[in-house]
Amino acid sequence: MERFGRRDLVVRGGRLAGAAAALALGFASEARAANALDQLDAALRGPLLRPGRAGYAHARKPWNARFDDVLPRAVAQPLDTADVQAIVRWAAAHDVRLGIRSGGHSYAGLSSTTGLLVDLSRLTSVALGPGGRAVVGAGATLGHVYSKLWAAGHRTIPAGSCPTVGVAGLTLGGGHGFLARQLGLACDSLRAVRIVTADGHAHDVSATSRPGLFWALRGAGAGSFGIVTRLTFATRKVGTVTTFAFRWPWAAAADAIAAWQAFMATAPDELSSSLALRVPSTPGGTPTVVANGMFLGSKPAALAALTGLANGDPRPSATSVVKRTYAQATSYFAGGESARRRIAGSSRVARSPLGPKGRDAVVDLVEQRDADPRLRGGGVVLFAFGGAVGRVPRKATAYVHRDARFSLELVGLWTSPSPAIETAHFAWIRQARHALAPFASGEALQNYADRGIVGWKRAYYAENLERLVSVKHAVDPHDRFRHAQSIPTAL
Ligand SMILES: Cc1cc2nc3c(=O)[nH]c(=O)nc-3n(C[C@H](O)[C@H](O)[C@H](O)COP(=O)(O)OP(=O)(O)OC[C@H]3O[C@@H](n4cnc5c(N)ncnc54)[C@H](O)[C@@H]3O)c2cc1C
């Protein structure tokens, strides 16, 4: 239940005023810091988990285990928007940095902090309302949203495949998946957002209420403008779909890239696809090249739409085309694997097809990865855009990469805590970005956050950066919401 704006907020504010006075002197002692946390604790409905106490060790860890070492001062788990308002006001009064976390999947640890971690994982409600609008708590994961909307009336939103990714983090950075060419990005289905800004006020923003902030939240909203507590989406009816997986022998990988990109250039919007070139996750074997995707329609119609790829040159060595309910398709793409891992990644955005040199560069990179025994799993994934994503003008939302033909996602996934292995993954990602630079635009996907990108602001936001900075300046002039790649208050 949302309670912001009610009388108890005034009571919470009163309790916090005492803490503010004490903390105006700064955290002169541990005892004073503990006292301040006590007062925050008393003001919250949800738990405040502190080091050494039950729940902290688990709650502080993001899904991306690379950032397990970043220890927050405490973890607050708000139960409603009023809790979030109390946290924001407390943090401002005490000058404490906030980290905002929904699904914890940030590639670059942008939801990790040594300040107070605001973990929204208890805000998981998903309610389908009139007109097919879904009101979704900011802590819900994609898997939860998909299953709830399916159960509520065979409806969905277009978003990503991994079920443990947070719907908030993904949508605020754009959010693409296998419905994107038909229905657009997740942020394109957003109709309203509830956000707590730096002054502690909660706002329901939409195309008609604070439209500038709503514009910014659709592509650049991750951790820069405030804490989003709920998202309202337009949903679409879905029923039966057809999934496909085509595999080629590794020796034909460069030609498979050529065939796939030519095929996707004229594919119908109902058909979405990625082409994954990966090394095996265990030693031995050869890299794989597989086109995965989904067709929004019957199996006979999918087979007809896929003819060009199935009978093309080179011919796939194995094909699988399967009719499924949409719910089964989301489980299929989830792949049954959601355990915490270490993950690092980056991306390039291509506006034109890769020529022979570009295709060879991709294949070489995957083969170099395969030759290094420290680098199991991961590789390069081409994700086809176009369709509904490309029909939105570049400046219409903060998400600017509307004219991308496809992205090149560079991914390293591992479990070992060995620094040598981490270093090897980073080195490969750097090398891959460099090697692919001549064949792509200078842009990169903000959802594949990479602290190593020089000039990340332009790479993520291009010509939308100036407007984003002006929205930031208006909404959060003192830069209360910041992380390593948040929108600055000035350029
Ligand atoms: C395994 C895996 C699969 C992925 N698949 C896809 C995919 O198919 N499509 C795609 O587009 N992306 C994909 N991504 C990228 C993913 O969308 C981003 O990493 C996204 O930021 C993760 O969101 P999160 O809530 O899980 O992460 P978090 O680490 O919790 O947050 C990520 C960022 O969003 C901010 N944030 C989170 N919640 C809020 C909030 N409530 N209010 C304000 N700011 C907030 C955080 O501060 C941080 O900056 C994938 C990532 C992984 C690791």
**φ and ψ of 264, to 5 deg:** -70, -20
How far does the centroid of ligand 1 lie from the alpha carbon of residue 173, in Å?
7
Q: Rounded to whole angstroms, how far apart are CA atoms 408 and 381?
A: 6
Report the relative pairing of strands 227-234 and 133-137 from DSSP bridges.
Answer: antiparallel
Measure 409 CA to ligand 1 centroid, in angstroms: 15
Distance 372 CA to ligand 1 centre (A): 29
Q: Which atom of ligand 1 is nearest to the CA of 343?
A: 53
Place of tokens 């902030």: 213
In order along its 491 residues, the chain shows pLDDT tens digits of: 333 343 334 334 444 444 444 444 444 578 888 899 999 999 999 999 999 999 999 999 999 999 999 999 999 999 999 999 999 999 999 999 999 999 999 999 999 999 999 999 999 999 999 999 999 999 999 999 999 999 999 999 999 999 999 999 999 999 999 999 999 999 999 999 999 999 999 999 999 999 999 999 999 999 999 999 999 999 999 999 999 999 999 999 999 999 999 999 999 999 999 999 999 988 888 999 999 999 999 999 999 999 999 999 999 999 999 999 999 999 999 987 678 989 999 999 999 999 999 999 999 999 999 999 999 989 999 999 999 999 999 999 999 999 999 999 999 999 999 999 999 999 999 999 999 999 999 999 999 999 999 999 999 999 999 999 999 999 999 999 999 999 999 99
Round to whole Å and give the CA distance between 428 and 368.
9
Provide the pairing of β-strand 116-119 with 74-76: parallel
Distance CA 341, CA 345 (A): 13
Give CATH for domain 7-119: 3.30.43.10
- The torsion angles phi and psi of 429, rounded to 5 degrees, stand at -65, -40
Q: Give me the amino acid identity at 255.
A: D
Q: What separation in Å is there between the alpha carbon of 106 and the centre of ligand 1?
A: 5
From the list 238, 271, 303, the residue with the least C-alpha distance to 388 is: 271
Distance CA 319, CA 315 (A): 10
Q: Is 31 exposed, middle or buried (0-12, 13-18, 19+ CB in 10 A)?
A: exposed
Residues facing 355 on adjacent strands: none
Each residue's pLDDT tens digit, 363-374? 999 999 999 999
Look up the pTM and report it: 0.94
Which residue has the least CA distance to atom 35 on ligand 1? 222
Per-residue exposure over 203-226, b if at least 16 CB sit within 10 Å of its own CB, e if not: bebeeeebeebbbbbbbbbbbbbb
Looking at residue 437, what DSSP letter applies? G
Vertex 223, ends 215 and 428: CA angle to 5°? 105
For a pocket test of ligand 1, which of 61, 83, 84, 105 has the largest count of ligand atoms closer than 8 A to its C-beta?
105
Residues with CB under 6 A from ligand 1: 62, 100-107, 110-111, 120, 138, 160-162, 165-166, 168-170, 172-177, 222-223, 227-228, 343, 447, 483
Q: What is the dihedral of CA 487, 188, 177, 173, to 10 degrees?
A: 10
* CA distances, 151 to each of 127, 129, 147, 326, 331 (Å): 11, 13, 6, 11, 14
328 CB contacts (<8 Å, ≥6 apart)?
Answer: none
Q: What is the CA radius of gyration of the chain?
A: 23
- Domain 126-237+463-475 architecture: 2-Layer Sandwich (3.30)
Where are the chain's structural domains?
7-119, 126-237+463-475, 240-461
| Domain 240-461, architecture per CATH | 3-Layer(aba) Sandwich (3.40)
- As a whole number of angstroms, the distance between CA 262 and CA 267 comes to 9
Summary count for the chain: helices (H), strands (E): 16, 18
Length of the chain in residues, anyone?
491
Tell me which residue has its CA closest to atom 26 in ligand 1.
103
| Closest ligand 1 atom, residue 62 Cα | 29
Closest CA to 115 of 139, 89, 95: 95
Q: What is the DSSP string of 311-345?
A: TSSSPPSEEEEEEEEHHHHHHHHHTT----BEEEE
Between CA 172 and CA 464 the distance in angstroms is: 15
Residue whose token pair is 């990966």: 278
What is residue 364's three-state secondary structure? helix
Please tell me the distance between residue 314's alpha carbon and the centre of ligand 1 in angstroms. Answer: 36
Whole-number Å distance between alpha carbons of 19 and 37 = 9
Q: Which two tokens stand for residue 120?
A: 């929204």
- For residue 110, what are its two tokens? 């942008």
Q: Measured from the CA of 120, which atom of ligand 1 is nearest?
A: 41
Model confidence pLDDT, tens digit, residues 216-258: 999 999 999 999 999 999 999 999 999 999 999 999 999 999 9
Instruction: Say how far apart CA 45 and CA 21 lie, in whole Å.
Output: 22
Cα–Cα distance between 465 and 487 in angstroms, integer?
8
CA of 9 to the centre of ligand 1 (A): 30
